[in-house]
Amino acid sequence: MTINGRPVIAADHFDVKNPATGDTVGRAPNSSKDHLDRAVEAAHAAFANWSKTSDAVRIQACQDIADKIGKHAEELAQLLTREQGKPLNGLGSRFEIGGAQAWAAHTASLSLPVKVLQDNEQGRVELHRKPMGVVGSITPWNWPVMIAVWHILPAVRSGNTVVIKPSPYTPLSTLRLVELMNQVLPPGVVNSVCSDDKTCNIGAAMSSHPGIRKIVFTGSINTGKAVMASAAETVKRLTLELGGNDAGIVLPDVDPKAIAEGLFWGAFINNGQTCAAMKRLYVHESVYDEVCVALTDYAKAIPVGHGSDEASVLGPINNRMQFDKVKRLVDAAKQKGRVLLGGEPGEGLFFPPTLIADLSHHDTLVTEEQFGPALPIIKYRDVEDAIRQANDSPNGLGGSVWSRDVEKAKQVASRMECGSVWINKHGAIQPNAPFGGVKSSGCGVEFGEEGLAEYTDIQVVFS
């Protein structure tokens, strides 16, 4: 752990496994409640000075963090692949570390200047954005370094301090990231704790901790609900980016071969282990068969293997719990639909890209978020039915529409109940565009000025 700028060793540790081999990658510290209290105290003490620093100092800090990530990019990517399983190449670990560096650099460019609401003979009214205090960050195992940057950098940029707790499946790269940040930040500005969530549930302790002013959480809907309930006692501010069961709607005017690559990566980026990946695909009956063939032809050429193999493009599922869920949903779908590709698990935690056609909107692979390398394909006749089915979900993170006619696609997109909609692509988030869900997919947004504002309190000054 890193607390108040110094390495802290725990009395107990737990093993971190390589999903591709089952081998132990390393051992992570099992924090106690006392470690959390010390981290919060350090962050609180650091806030007194960090909150008063100038914009220039905070901008430089974000730039320095970006530079530090860049200088240690290969080290972080190698560590990330070993604990998460994703390949080094393609849209894997090197892509994630590069994205983390770029996001950190972009965050440096954001600002929240004083907004003048009124300036006339009746007086002047200004809206100021002030840092909150200690921010608690709880991150998942699918994009651990990238999401840590998404949580930490806007907090640092806006004058807050941080205590971060990574997933027990992928703690090592995040702990190393925080070590690197502490080489360029004052002590206590960013602190890390860690636990296996069994011996001591540090995440639950954070969401109820009276010294933490805001929780930023990325993860499942059920855990998000628990965080929200636990945070209520201390009236914490929350940013929750929760599950998505994103729908893609393919209109009848598409060129199936032209969209096959985009459909595949919209669904299978990070082996489908992405909140904003496409989880269900609705295709018009007039192009249904052609889309199925084109998508299958593209998918069957994707190499799957150990992440450390430079030739691999997709790797294993990260953990046994998620593997079992994907297998359960695929096994049920095989009884209802037509397997176009995959469907049978490989060795260990490997599961091939799986496409299952001829499913109905009510089959479990469609209604439940699989969060893995399996895509259900549903035929529709009337676009009104496709829109209705796409919206018939408690989730509302992202969606996409595929068409040669962009204006027609935008009309359909405007009726989809989700926080982000893409035309002829899926899941292409950007640091300058706010990102968040509606319905059960969360509250608040990340990225851009709107995301930065979520780390501040409003103070209105009348003069």
- Tell me which residues are annotated as active site: 241, 275
13 token code pair? 């540790």
Q: What are phi and psi of 98, to 5 degrees?
A: -60, -40
Tell me 247's DSSP state: E
Rounded CA-CA distance 11/23 in Å is 23
Query: What residues contact residue 156 under an 8 Å CB cut-off, 6+ apart?
Result: 50, 58, 61, 62, 65, 162, 185, 189, 190
425 closest CA partner among 267, 285, 282: 267
What does DSSP say about strands 134-138 and 214-218: parallel, antiparallel, or unpaired?
A: parallel
Rounded CA-CA distance 137/30 in Å is 17
Please classify residue 454 by burial: count the beta carbons closer than 10 Å to its beta carbon, then call 0-12 exposed, 13-18 middle and 19+ buried. buried
Residue 147's alpha-carbon distances to 67, 213, 428, in angstroms, are: 17, 20, 15
Which amino acid is residue 52, in one-letter code?
K
Give the CA angle between residues 394, 398, 399 to the nearest 5°.
Answer: 100
Please classify residue 415 by burial: count the beta carbons closer than 10 Å to its beta carbon, then call 0-12 exposed, 13-18 middle and 19+ buried. middle
